[in-house]
């Protein structure tokens, strides 16, 4: 028997499941974790007929659980616990004032019957699906018009079993756009934390037209050759905090977006007030953080701090094109450690990739106020490729305290700059002349990171404790 003090200690240490056997194969457990909101009611997927044998399809159990628990939305909210087991399911929707909690040995397996996945409309800010015109397969975990939703756990796993989708994509057999693992639309107050996401059919997490979002402590893994398996894609969202995430991906680890060409311009919903800190990324064919290429609603006030990228194509990359319109401005990057990188800095106005042929050739993007400081990179092929548009230069680019160690095979002159304007200080190797050198003394105060905090940083997590019998 455990001594009382040991028991207390365990609980105080925030240790999560400790169990006492009870009758009927059920266990009483203590569960403690941090969340933006604790819930009054709690149930297990087993209460709704769920079977965690890896073979039984649990879609109905999930849908029933969410439907029934939604009745508590105005009575303290509800939590659905997914215990240890392999839970095969197709898509289900979330509800408001709701927490989905995955035990550390819970594995949510996405059904691979592509044809059974329901279709939903293309996003209004995109006009089209990204893989094919027309509709798109709904995400494994989907929610729209919600408030106060939490998806968390003690590092339980969601496996998209994406291989069949990747194969169909490569063979150009997809009739509709691939499913994401998690998509939340038109929602407010979102937490996604302490989970492992693997093998998504396409993007992993897509918050869109949403606000007040915290995404932290995730491990996101996909084969580096898998198509479009972006980690996290905040899209037309405001007040977002992404922190302590570890991502290995076949595409951008984080891709910040706001709609595509004339559809995004018309919808006009920017992504703004975004914090990305302590991200570790491996993405050999893409960027640690991409801004765009779909940025037609605008991207403003992005604060990036303490990024590590290894074997990654580029650091913080801006992608745009004629026809996008919109803007990318007030971007601040402070503290990047990069190892084995093709381009440390990469911006392009010639990304192409249009929704259809109706884009407006007069819709030029405005790229302005892009600040980088305290960057160290090793084993780099090219320092930078900075390519604005003729008649539409990218302006206010600032680089300070940047040390780039070139690979043995690197080019002699590793900077390419066209149609850009900016300044630099203490940048090695010396940058192109379009980034006018201000001399080393200016370095300390240049390209400064904003000092005032954003509201999303003032949200405090609560400790939530539950006694469960499941
Ligand atoms: C996630 O896990 C870490 C480490 O176990 C813990 O410190 C943190 O509080 C957890 N976060 C949440 C939101 O539960
Ligand atoms: C989930 O939400 C979508 C979009 O609102 C809807 O089309 C779909 O029918 C919902 N699915 C279920 C099972 O309720
Ligand atoms: C969800 O919210 C959006 C934006 O406010 C609104 O246009 C849409 O009609 C809402 N959908 C539902 C199903 O309530
Ligand atoms: C979560 O699980 C993943 C995959 O097993 C592992 O790599 C990662 O280190 C775990 N994270 C934590 C905080 O335990
Ligand atoms: C440097 O980068 C090249 C690819 O450009 C890679 O093959 C090599 O292993 C890297 N060297 C080190 C020491 O990481
Ligand atoms: C330059 O950057 C390094 C980290 O890359 C940091 O330790 C150092 O303090 C920075 N120097 C200045 C003057 O900001």
Q: What b-and-e string marks burial along 299-309, b requiring 16 or more CB atoms within 10 Å of the CB?
A: bbbbbbbbbbb
Residue whose C-alpha is closest to residue 348's, from 400, 287, 297, 398: 287
Q: How confident is the model at residue 3 (pLDDT cuts 50, 70, 90)?
A: very low
| CA–CA dist 245, 253 (Å, integer) | 10
Bond preceding residue 293 cis, omega within 30 of 0: yes
Token pair 């009870």: residue: 22
Longest pairwise C-alpha distance within the chain = 77
Assigned domain for 23 exists:
no
Count of domains for the chain: 1
| CA gyration radius, the chain | 23
Give the tens place of pLDDT for each residue, 256-270.
999 999 999 999 999
| CA–CA dist 371, 281 (Å, integer) | 20
Residue 24 confidence (pLDDT) above 80: no
Pairing assessment for the beta strands 141-144 and 78-82 based on DSSP bridges: unpaired
Mean pLDDT for 190-205 is 98
* pLDDT value, residue 470: 66
Catalytic positions, please?
251
Which tokens go with 309?
Answer: 């990228």
Pairing assessment for the beta strands 211-216 and 188-193 based on DSSP bridges: parallel
CB 217 near ligand 1, within 6 Å: yes
Residue 9 confidence (pLDDT) above 90: no
| CA–CA dist 281, 231 (Å, integer) | 9
Residue 51 confidence (pLDDT) above 50: yes
Q: For residue 390, report the phi and psi dihedrals to the nearest 5 degrees.
A: -70, 130
Residue 6 confidence (pLDDT) above 70: no
Q: Which helix (H) or strand (E) holds 30?
A: strand 27-35
Assigned domain for 226 exists:
yes
Which-ligand-closest: CA of 376? 6
Q: For residue 48, report the phi and psi dihedrals to the nearest 5 degrees.
A: -115, 20
Residue 469 confidence (pLDDT) above 90: no
* pLDDT value, residue 4: 43
Give the tens place of pLDDT for each residue, 273-285.
999 999 999 999 9
* pLDDT value, residue 267: 98
3-state secondary structure at position 296: coil
CB 193 near ligand 4, within 6 Å: no
Q: How confident is the model at residue 411 (pLDDT cuts 50, 70, 90)?
A: confident
Query: What residue's CA is closest to ligand 3, atom 12?
Result: 145
Assigned domain for 448 exists:
yes
Which tokens go with 187?
Answer: 């929602």
Assigned domain for 12 exists:
no
CA of 180 to the centre of ligand 3 (A): 20
Report the residue count for the chain.
470
Which tokens go with 355?
Answer: 């929704």
Q: Which residues make Cβ contacts (< 8 Å) with residue 134, sequence separation at least 6?
A: 122, 128, 175, 176
pTM of the model: 0.94
Query: What residue's CA is closest to ligand 4, atom 9?
Result: 219
Assigned domain for 57 exists:
yes
CB 311 near ligand 5, within 6 Å: no
Pairing assessment for the beta strands 394-406 and 366-387 based on DSSP bridges: parallel
Assigned domain for 165 exists:
yes
Q: Are 446 and 422 in contact (CB under 8 A)?
A: no
CB 379 near ligand 5, within 6 Å: yes
Which ligand 3 atom minimizes the distance to the CA of 144? Answer: 1
Which ligand 1 atom minimizes the distance to the CA of 216? Answer: 13
Per-chain mean pLDDT for the chain: 93
Domain that holds residue 284: 40-457
CB 105 near ligand 4, within 6 Å: no
| CA–CA dist 33, 52 (Å, integer) | 23
**Residue 72: DSSP 8-state:** G
Which tokens go with 367?
Answer: 């790229």
CA of 144 to the centre of ligand 3 (A): 8
CATH of the domain at 331: 2.160.20.10
Assigned domain for 11 exists:
no
CA of 305 to the centre of ligand 1 (A): 20
**For residues 181 and 26, which has the higher predicted lDDT (pLDDT)?**
181
CB 145 near ligand 3, within 6 Å: yes
Q: Which of 377, 381, 405, 407 to mutate to test ligand 5, by most ligand atoms within 8 A of the CB atom?
A: 407
Query: What residue's CA is closest to ligand 5, atom 9?
Result: 340
Give the tens place of pLDDT for each residue, 110-143.
999 988 899 999 999 999 998 988 899 999 999 9
CA of 435 to the centre of ligand 3 (A): 45
Q: Cα separations (Å) of 373 from 285, 326, 420, 424? A: 24, 25, 18, 10
In sequence order, the β-bridge partners of residue 98 are 78, 149
CB 186 near ligand 3, within 6 Å: yes
CA of 410 to the centre of ligand 5 (A): 11
CA of 166 to the centre of ligand 5 (A): 28
Assigned domain for 8 exists:
no
């Amino acid at each position: 028997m455990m001594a009382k003090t040991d028991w207390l200690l365990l609980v105080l240490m925030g240790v999560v499941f400790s169990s006492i056997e009870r009758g009927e194969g059920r266990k009483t457990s203590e569960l403690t974790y941090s969340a933006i909101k604790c819930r009054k009611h709690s149930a297990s997927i087993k209460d709704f007929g769920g079977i965690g044998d890896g073979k039984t399809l649990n879609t109905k159990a999930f849908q029933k659980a969410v439907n029934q628990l939604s009745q508590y939305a105005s009575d303290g909210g509800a939590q659905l616990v997914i215990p240890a087991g392999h839970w095969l399911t197709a898509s289900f929707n979330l509800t408001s004032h709701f927490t989905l909690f995955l035990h550390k040995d819970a594995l949510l397996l996405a059904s691979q019957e592509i044809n059974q996945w329901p279709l939903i409309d293309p996003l209004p800010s995109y006009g089209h699906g990204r893989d094919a015109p027309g509709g798109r397969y709904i995400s494994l975990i989907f929610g729209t018009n919600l408030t106060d939703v939490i998806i968390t756990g003690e590092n339980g796993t969601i496996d998209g079993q994406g291989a069949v989708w990747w194969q169909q994509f490569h063979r150009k057999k997809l009739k509709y756009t691939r499913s994401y693992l998690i998509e939340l639309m038109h929602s407010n107050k979102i937490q996604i934390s302490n989970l492992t996401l693997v093998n998504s059919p396409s993007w992993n997490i897509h918050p869109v037209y949403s606000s007040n979002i915290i995404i932290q402590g995730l491990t996101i893994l996909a084969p580096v050759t898998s198509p479009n398996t972006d980690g996290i894609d905040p899209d037309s969202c405001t007040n977002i905090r992404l922190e302590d995430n570890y991502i290995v991906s076949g595409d951008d680890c984080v891709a910040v977006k706001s709609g595509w060409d004339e559809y995004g311009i018309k919808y006009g919903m920017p992504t703004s007030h975004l914090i990305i800190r302590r991200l570790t990324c491996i993405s050999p064919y893409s960027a640690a953080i991409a801004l765009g290429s779909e940025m037609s609603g605008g991207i403003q006030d992005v604060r990036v701090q303490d990024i590590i990228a290894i074997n990654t194509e580029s650091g913080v990359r801006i992608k745009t094109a004629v026809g996008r319109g919109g803007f990318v401005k007030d971007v601040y990057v402070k503290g990047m450690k990069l190892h084995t990188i093709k381009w440390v800095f990469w911006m392009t106005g010639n990304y192409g990739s249009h929704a259809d042929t109706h884009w407006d050739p007069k819709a030029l993007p405005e790229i302005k106020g892009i600040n980088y400081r305290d960057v160290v990179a090793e084993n780099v092929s090219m320092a930078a490729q900075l390519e604005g548009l003729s008649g539409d230069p990218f302006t206010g680019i600032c680089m300070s305290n940047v040390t780039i160690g070139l690979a043995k095979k690197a080019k002699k002159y590793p900077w390419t700059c066209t149609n850009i304007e900016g300044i630099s200080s203490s940048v090695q190797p010396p940058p192109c002349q379009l980034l006018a050198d201000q001399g080393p003394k200016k370095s300390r105060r240049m390209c400064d990171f904003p000092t005032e905090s954003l509201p999303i940083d003032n949200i405090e997590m609560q400790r939530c404790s539950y006694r469960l019998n499941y």
